[in-house]
Chain A
Amino acid sequence: MRPLFIVGASVSVLACMPALAQKSAADGIAEYRKMLEDGNPADLYEAKGEALWKQRRGPKNASLEACDLGKGPGVVKGAFVELPRYFPDTGQVQDLEARLVSCMATLQGLNATEIVNTPFGRGEQNNVTALATYVAAASRGMRFNLPQSHAQEQRMYEIGKRVFYFRGGPYDFSCASCHGEDGKRIRLQDLPNLSKNPGDGVGFAAWPAYRVSNGQMWGMQLRLNDCYRQQRFPYPGFGSEATIAVSVYMGVNAKGAESIAPSIKR
């Protein structure tokens, strides 16, 4: 009798535990995010970015109001959901942050190389993140629609796809190891499947975001940098071709997804 009883008890525990754990973890995090959304500190960075956008700065004492983010000089609304894209003046496909640095260099006379080499969270990099937050916020609720008409944009998509599936580093990881299938997670964090459209407000459509755990505002460049750190790859350069190519890949895949950036993350 006794062994049978134990077997019976353990089976019932196994049967109900996974369903319970899955539901409560995802729901619990969703509830937590909902509570935090009421006072998302990303609003503070948005306000800072807006002030920086209009403020005359740099050796040329100019504002960024003439900056062309792809929809004409000074047009901010809707620009975020069409980036990265090809810019004829620089002859490159650029993402939001790389484009902002270009504008800061050409309009304000700031040193682009210096900004690119500044570590995240210091000096002008903080300003780039705040500006990116402001620009992203102007497109909140709009749907992603990256242009793919230029040959360079199509080329970057193909490169991005290769980078996404490229395995390397001491763990032999690729982006696809964690983000290539549905239903994966790291600890309690659900991972979006970025090889297809992950849906509204997930993945590419959620960054820049405020990270509650470290109290920092992160743009997509820092998000990708940290993904590579977790894969134990060498750090990619800020605004490097590889990071922009992956962004094009994720952005094109997310066509039609609603942007909720700047969002809040645990």
Chain B
Amino acid sequence: MADPMRIRAQAAGDKATVRVLMSHEMETGQRKDSAGKTIPAWFIQEVSAQHNGKPVLDAQWGPAVSKNPFLLFVVKGAKAGDKITVTWVDNKGDKRTDEATVS
């Protein structure tokens, strides 16, 4: 199973800034290992975020995104105590969902 994400969500005024750090290898499929064999592509393909169960972000990612990706976005209308849920799905079908409370 994939390692957990780190999600921080901080409210300021009528919006909240969400910072997400994901743990993922993000292999492009272009690299070769020490034996000269191509390392198969393995990357996050879909990212979605929900604010109290309501979708607020939907992204499609590719192999150009770095290893251990960092994502920052702003949610309008989010206030302290609200729940932010982030989910990613990679090209192998592996997925991970984590939740954070806005502070």
| Structural contact, A39 and B3, CB atoms closer than 8 A | no
| Structural contact, B72 and A43, CB atoms closer than 8 A | no
Interface bin, chain B: 10 to 19
Residues of A within 8 A of B19 (CB): 38-39
Number of chain A residues close to chain B: CB under 8 A: 9
Q: Is B68 an interface residue (CB 8 A)?
A: yes
Assuming A38-B19, A41-B21, is B6 touching A215 (CB within 8 A)? no
Assuming A44-B21, A44-B23, A215-B67, is B4 touching A39 (CB within 8 A)? no
Assuming A38-B19, A41-B21, is B3 touching A48 (CB within 8 A)? yes
Alpha-carbon gap, A38 to B68, bound state (A): 13
Q: Mark A32-66, 1 if CB is under 8 A from B, else 0.
A: 00000011110110011000000000000000000
| Structural contact, B6 and A38, CB atoms closer than 8 A | no
- Nearest CB on B from A39, distance (A): 3
| Structural contact, A44 and B72, CB atoms closer than 8 A | no
Most-contacted residue by chain A among B3, B23, B67, B68 (CB, 10 A) = B68
CB-CB nearest in chain B for A41: B68
Q: Which of B23, B67, B70 contacts A38 (CB 8 A)?
A: B70
Alpha-carbon gap, A143 to B10, bound state (A): 29
| Structural contact, B4 and A47, CB atoms closer than 8 A | yes
- Nearest CB on A from B22, distance (A): 8
Alpha-carbon gap, A41 to B67, bound state (A): 9
Alpha-carbon gap, A48 to B6, bound state (A): 11
Q: Mark B62-103, 1 if CB is under 8 A from A, else 0.
A: 000011101010000000000000000000000000000000
- Nearest CB on A from B11, distance (A): 17
Alpha-carbon gap, A41 to B6, bound state (A): 9
- Nearest CB on B from A262, distance (A): 13
- Nearest CB on B from A213, distance (A): 11
Alpha-carbon gap, A39 to B3, bound state (A): 16
- Nearest CB on A from B4, distance (A): 6
Residues of A within 8 A of B21 (CB): 39-41, 43-44
A residues whose Cβ falls under 8 Å from a Cβ of B: 38-41, 43-44, 47-48, 215
- The 10 closest A-B CB pairs, nearest first, are A39-B70, A41-B68, A215-B67, A44-B23, A39-B21, A43-B6, A43-B21, A44-B68, A48-B3, A44-B21
Question: Can you show 10 pairs from A to B with CB atoms below 8 A apart?
Answer: A38-B70, A39-B72, A41-B23, A44-B3, A44-B68, A47-B4, A48-B3, A48-B23, A215-B66, A215-B67
